[in-house]
Amino acid sequence: MKEFNITGLCIPEKHYMVDTSKKVQKIIEMIDKGKYFIINRPRQYGKTTTLSLLYQRMITISPYLVIRTSFEGLGEQSFESEISFCIIFTKQIAKALNRIPQCNVALEYIKETNQPKTFIELNNFITNLINTTKQKIILMIDEVDKASNHIVFLNFLGMLRTKYLDREEGLDQTFHSVILVGVHDVKNIKKKIRPDSESHYNSPWNIATEFKVDLSFSAEEIETMLEDYVSALRQAQHTALRQAQHTATQTNRFDISSISKEIYKFTSGYPFLVSKICKVIDEDLDKDWSMEGIQKAIDNILKERNTLFDDLIKNVDNNKELYDLLYSILIDSIPIQYNTANPIIDLSNIYGITAEGEYGRLKISNKIFEIYLYNYLISKLETQNLSITHYGFRDNFINNSGDLEIEKILLKFQEFIKETYSDKDTQFYERNGRLLLIAFVKPIINGSGFYYIEPQSSYERRMDMVITFNKKEYILEFKLWYGTEYHEKSLKQLAGYLDSRNHGVGYLVTFNFNKNKEFTNGWRDVDSKKIFEVFV
């Protein structure tokens, strides 16, 4: 029986997989044109699986001879000198060719040739290998980040660049196409070794074509994986095994298209997160393929430690500029233009934390990262000894039907701010007020509810908090006070948002940091919607 896989290589015979054949075909078209390129995507983004699927396709195409290798596990000594690198690299070539049938000519040449120990000798070795085999040779190297701190690797790239340029003039023979795979692109590797402006813009890999193939999964592509899953369970039903019959019946009930769209909504197609949600639902939540099941799965994922989240927090903690950038997006709701010429924005994109959003503005790349970062910031806030928790007795805010009483929650939050606010705290509350509100609500809904934030692309710096609890949805908007005119406009915007989600009731929290403000509250009727507003 297949399973959803979240570790290492995905294998079609063993794992439920998205149909990425169109993506692979686009890469093959680049290879056919003799392009050199790097597949640089964030960690756990399906790079190695894509390379494997590409390799399996390419070895069946007659003009090509494919050398697929990896820098994973080679050790530091392999990159200490030109001699050690050249020896290891030619051994890697021989090892790769040994895996392919009908490579006798190439292997015989390698066997009879003295092992290259300099880049000049390696240059000649590559030329003669191609002339001997009379084939178009493709070089694929995975995990190039392992070599990122070694100058010998850049010299190797420089050699390949020279050979490529000479080939274009008919002066040399070299690899038909070279594909490097890693998190960083080569200009970033160059920058890590010599962080001056000249080295940043004069990479030895400036011959590379930009890799534009989208490796994230669309909602339609996620459907192909779930269709494979349902098909497999239906097939299992025919075995007459009782458990298989049960699971097949369960999966027959869910709308694959709607579930795929919901998974995409929270993951933006990040391959690891897509597979992880499916795996949790299938194995841990009794195959609860519903909207609530997806939220439960995300809740479970957010509570666990995994390498993806560990890397996320490590990258944020180790770079104050990146931390401040994310805080500006998440908490301050400051519209920031997407511009990868800014090295911090470029870095956050490389790590997969941010992406280009609506109106060309920067956004967090997916809602799961967004929620995880909010939870992380809340945790840091709680260590500042703010007495939030004693206000949030959960039972005080749930009625006899098990529904949330948002009005009571917001009044209690207003009371909390009023009791703890003072003039000397103005700067703190102005910077952290909206995070305090999220921190206040979160423990009340923990275990039974779910939340996410919808930052609005607006200079009013609005944010919407969407809460689901007891199968009901609640919409909270919070914004800063910019005067009566803007406030009335905000009420109408919230009424419009409620209408788009088929809600008749919403909630507005306005943060006013003027000295003479009043802590008022009350219900408003706006465009046939009821809105409870609280000023803090």
Residue 508 β-bridge partners: 477, 533
Please write the tens of the pLDDT for every residue from 519-534.
Answer: 999 999 999 999 999 9
Residue with tokens 């939220």: 295
Please say which residue of 201, 231, 259 terminates a domain. Answer: 201
How much is the CA Rg of the chain, to the nearest whole Å? 28
Q: Give 198's pLDDT tier (boundaries 50, 70, 90).
A: very low
- Strands across the sheet with 505-511, in order? 449-455, 463-469, 472-480, 505-511, 529-535, 521-526
Domain identity same for 145 and 188: yes
Domain identity same for 67 and 178: yes
Span 453-468, mean pLDDT?
74
Task: Yes or no: say if 88 and 79 are a contact pair by the CB < 8 Å rule.
Answer: no
Question: Does the pLDDT value for residue 295 go beyond 50?
Answer: yes
Span 332-347, mean pLDDT?
91
CA atoms of 428 and 368, how far apart (whole Å): 27
Task: Yes or no: say if 453 and 438 are a contact pair by the CB < 8 Å rule.
Answer: yes
Question: Does the pLDDT value for residue 22 go beyond 90?
Answer: yes
Please say which residue of 357, 385, 413 terminates a domain. Answer: 385
Task: Yes or no: say if 442 and 378 are a contact pair by the CB < 8 Å rule.
Answer: yes
Domain identity same for 67 and 167: yes
Domain identity same for 46 and 157: yes
Residue 341 lies in a domain: yes
Q: What is the average pLDDT value for the chain, to the nearest integer? A: 89
Give the CATH number, domain containing residue 93.
3.40.50.300
CA atoms of 532 and 521, how far apart (whole Å): 7
Q: Calculate what percentage of the chain has a pLDDT beyond 70.
A: 90
Stronger pLDDT, 440 or 274, i.e. the higher one: 274
Report the helix count and the strand count for the chain, using DSSP H and E: 20, 12
CA atoms within 13 Å, Cβ hemisphere of 35 = 17
DSSP annotation string for 447-502 = TTEEEEEEE-SSTT--EEEEEEETTEEEEEEEEE---HHHHHHHHHHHHHHHHHTT
3-state secondary structure 61-88: CCCEEEEEEECCCCCHHHHCCHHHHHHH
- 47: part of which helix (H) or strand (E)? helix 47-58
CA atoms of 475 and 498, how far apart (whole Å): 7
Task: Yes or no: say if 190 and 200 are a contact pair by the CB < 8 Å rule.
Answer: yes
Domain identity same for 278 and 338: no
CA atoms of 498 and 366, how far apart (whole Å): 23
CA atoms of 489 and 69, how far apart (whole Å): 59
Domain identity same for 443 and 510: yes
Domain identity same for 412 and 497: yes
Q: Which two tokens stand for residue 225?
A: 């994986």
- In the three-class reduction of DSSP (H, G, I as helix; E, B as strand; rest coil), residue 33 is classed as coil
Burial class (CB in 10 A: 0-12, 13-18, 19+), 167: middle
CA atoms of 277 and 288, how far apart (whole Å): 11
CA atoms of 533 and 410, how far apart (whole Å): 9
Domain identity same for 233 and 111: no
Task: Yes or no: say if 225 and 18 are a contact pair by the CB < 8 Å rule.
Answer: yes
Span 302-314, mean pLDDT?
94
Task: Yes or no: say if 263 and 278 are a contact pair by the CB < 8 Å rule.
Answer: yes
Question: Can you give the pLDDT at residue 192?
Answer: 55
CA atoms within 13 Å, Cβ hemisphere of 424 = 1
Cβ neighbours, 10 Å, residue 252:
12
Residue 133 lies in a domain: yes
CA atoms of 458 and 238, how far apart (whole Å): 55
Please write the tens of the pLDDT for every residue from 447-456.
Answer: 889 999 986 6
Left if phi > 0, otherwise alpha if psi is -120 to 50, otherwise beta: which for 445? alpha
Span 273-287, mean pLDDT?
97
Please write the tens of the pLDDT for every residue from 165-190.
Answer: 999 999 999 999 999 999 987 766 65
Please write the tens of the pLDDT for every residue from 141-174.
Answer: 999 998 888 899 999 999 999 999 999 999 999 9
C-alpha closest to that of 355 among 46, 39, 42, 22: 42
CA atoms of 429 and 420, how far apart (whole Å): 10
Question: Can you give the pLDDT at residue 396?
Answer: 84
Residue 214 lies in a domain: no
Residue 2 lies in a domain: no
Stronger pLDDT, 156 or 243, i.e. the higher one: 156
Span 491-513, mean pLDDT?
93
Mean pLDDT check: name the lowest of 23-32, 104-113, 382-391. 382-391
pTM for this predicted structure: 0.91
Residue 3 lies in a domain: no
Domain identity same for 75 and 32: yes
DSSP annotation string for 180-205 = EEESS-HHHHHHHHS-SHHHHH--TT
CA atoms of 24 and 35, how far apart (whole Å): 15
Residue 9 lies in a domain: no
Residue 208 lies in a domain: no
Please say which residue of 385, 402, 434 terminates a domain. Answer: 385
Q: What range defines the domain where residue 419 resides? A: 386-536
Question: Does the pLDDT value for residue 108 go beyond 70?
Answer: yes
Residue 16 lies in a domain: no
Span 471-497, mean pLDDT?
91
* Domain total in the chain: 4
Domain identity same for 197 and 288: no
- Sequence-distant (6+) residues with CB within 8 A of 502 are none
- Sequence-distant (6+) residues with CB within 8 A of 309 are 372
CA atoms of 195 and 191, how far apart (whole Å): 5
Domain identity same for 356 and 391: no
Domain identity same for 478 and 409: yes
